[in-house]
């Protein structure tokens, strides 16, 4: 039975030590306090008051150590007079938990000088008790405990050498320095590794790195703004049968790929589908032909499932991008462009 209790006790100690490894507050502190002493024993003295100061250190999640000095006084010495107690203890506090409200137990050993009329003597004392702290600020806690004190004293009363008192303490704990973790919460977390890696990638080849690209997956050859969102693209290879608005089979294949991208693309702005021609034929005829061809592309994209609002617009021969005096230039001027419209 004794071995079982010992095993349980050791298990609890090791578990507490493991949890203490995650606690990083190891500040020193000052702890001023006031005391009320309820006297005991056959000395038949009155109750009294006092105060003192402790200097301590937080060891880990469960333990504090502290050196305390105190003065306490009360009346009731036989024949008249006061008892004056001056002393100090070395304390070990065990905290059941650390939170805004933190209960603890305490053990203390020390010495005390007792002065009464005609006598003075130093003896050892032992204290045991329970208490709590309440955190008001990071650097200010309220603290109170109640302690049993044993005092072995052969100099005060001739027929009594052991005294048993109750001491109630109330005061403050003032830790020195910043509370670990308080400033850390205000510091932005470091950029994740994925964020740092994306700065060197441009998955859709639009010239904007993946970290800053708000519109990933743009069509190849698309002109984009500084955030990677599309502005315009020329649909190269989207051709029509001669003198007609009927799409070639090759053009349909290209538009199938464009449709798939637009359907999956997150940005659903309106798109103007522009038709342009070369300068062959009359200006009026070319204007009508460009309107029919842009309308043909809009109809095909809608049948393919594109949900953007598409606006067909023909510009005829008004906006050439090459020299209409050569066949190569005229071929470049016969084109279809998608223009993402501003909201």
Residue 121: enclosing H or E segment and its boundaries? strand 119-137
Residues 168 and 70 in one domain: yes
Residues 333 and 217 in one domain: yes
Reported as a pLDDT band with limits 50, 70 and 90, residue 68 is very high
Which is nearest to 72 in space by CA: 153, 166, 158, 142?
166
Residues 50 and 153 in one domain: yes
User: pTM of the full predicted structure?
Assistant: 0.49
Residues 175 and 228 in one domain: no
Number of domains forming the structure of the chain: 2
Structure tokens at 33: 């306090």
Contacts of residue 189, defined as CB under 8 A and 6 or more positions apart, other chains included, come to none
Reported as a pLDDT band with limits 50, 70 and 90, residue 10 is very low
Residues 122 and 224 in one domain: no
Which of 12-16, 75-79, 241-245, 249-253 shows the lowest per-residue confidence on average (mean pLDDT)?
A: 12-16
Per the prediction, the chain carries an average pLDDT of 84
93 occurs within a structural domain = yes
Among 130, 163, 180, give the residue marking a domain's end. 180
313 occurs within a structural domain = yes
Instruction: Kindly tell me if the per-residue pLDDT of 193 is higher than 70.
Output: no
Q: Is 132:157 a contact under the CB 8 Å cutoff?
A: no
Residues 232 and 117 in one domain: no
What CATH number is associated with residue 143?
A: 2.40.160.20
Overall average pLDDT of the 294-304 stretch: 91
What CATH number is associated with residue 310?
A: 3.30.1330.60
- C-alpha to C-alpha distance for 268 and 264, rounded to whole angstroms: 10
Residues 27 and 176 in one domain: yes
Residues 228 and 115 in one domain: no
Overall average pLDDT of the 165-169 stretch: 93
236 occurs within a structural domain = yes
Q: Is 31:172 a contact under the CB 8 Å cutoff?
A: yes
192 occurs within a structural domain = no
Instruction: Taking the CA atoms of 3, 5, 8 and 14 in sequence, report the sign of the dihedral they define.
Output: negative
Residues 171 and 258 in one domain: no
Query: Comparing 40 with 104, which gets the higher pLDDT?
Result: 104
The whole domain housing 318 covers 208-340
Contacts of residue 86, defined as CB under 8 A and 6 or more positions apart, other chains included, come to 70, 71, 112, 113, 115
Q: Is 192:205 a contact under the CB 8 Å cutoff?
A: no
- C-alpha to C-alpha distance for 174 and 55, rounded to whole angstroms: 10
pLDDT attached to residue 182: 60
Reported as a pLDDT band with limits 50, 70 and 90, residue 233 is confident
């Amino acid at each position: 039975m004794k071995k079982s209790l010992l095993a349980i006790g050791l298990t609890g100690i090791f578990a507490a030590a493991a949890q203490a490894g995650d606690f990083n507050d190891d500040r020193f502190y000052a702890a001023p306090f006031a005391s009320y002493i309820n006297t005991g024993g056959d000395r038949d003295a009155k109750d009294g008051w006092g105060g003192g100061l402790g200097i301590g250190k937080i060891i880990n999640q469960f333990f504090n150590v502290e050196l305390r000095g105190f003065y306490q006084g009360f009346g009731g010495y036989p024949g008249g007079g006061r008892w004056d107690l001056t002393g100090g203890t070395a304390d070990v506090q065990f905290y059941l938990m650390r939170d805004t409200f933190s209960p603890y137990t305490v053990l203390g050993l020390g010495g005390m000088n007792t002065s009464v009329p005609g006598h003075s003597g130093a003896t050892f004392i032992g204290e045991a008790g329970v208490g709590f702290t309440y955190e008001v600020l990071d650097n200010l806690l309220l603290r109170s405990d109640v302690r049993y004190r044993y005092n072995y004293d052969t100099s005060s009363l001739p027929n009594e050498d052991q005294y048993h008192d109750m001491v109630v303490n109330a005061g403050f704990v003032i830790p020195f320095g910043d509370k670990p973790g308080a400033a850390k919460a205000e510091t932005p977390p470091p950029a994740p590794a994925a964020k740092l890696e994306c700065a060197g990638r441009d998955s859709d080849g639009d010239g904007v790195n993946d970290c800053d690209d708000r519109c990933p997956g743009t069509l190849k050859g698309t002109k984009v703004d500084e955030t990677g969102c599309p502005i315009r693209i020329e649909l190269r290879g989207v051709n029509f049968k001669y003198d007609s608005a009927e799409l070639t089979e090759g053009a349909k294949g290209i538009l199938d790929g464009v449709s798939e991208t637009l359907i999956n693309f997150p940005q659903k702005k309106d798109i103007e589908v522009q038709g342009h021609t070369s300068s062959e034929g009359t200006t009026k005829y070319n204007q009508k032909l460009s309107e029919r061809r842009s309308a043909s592309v809009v109809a095909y994209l809608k049948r393919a499932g594109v949900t953007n609002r598409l606006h067909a617009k023909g510009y005829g021969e008004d906006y050439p991008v090459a020299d209409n005096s050569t066949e190569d230039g005229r071929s470049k001027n016969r084109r279809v462009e998608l223009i993402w419209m501003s909201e």
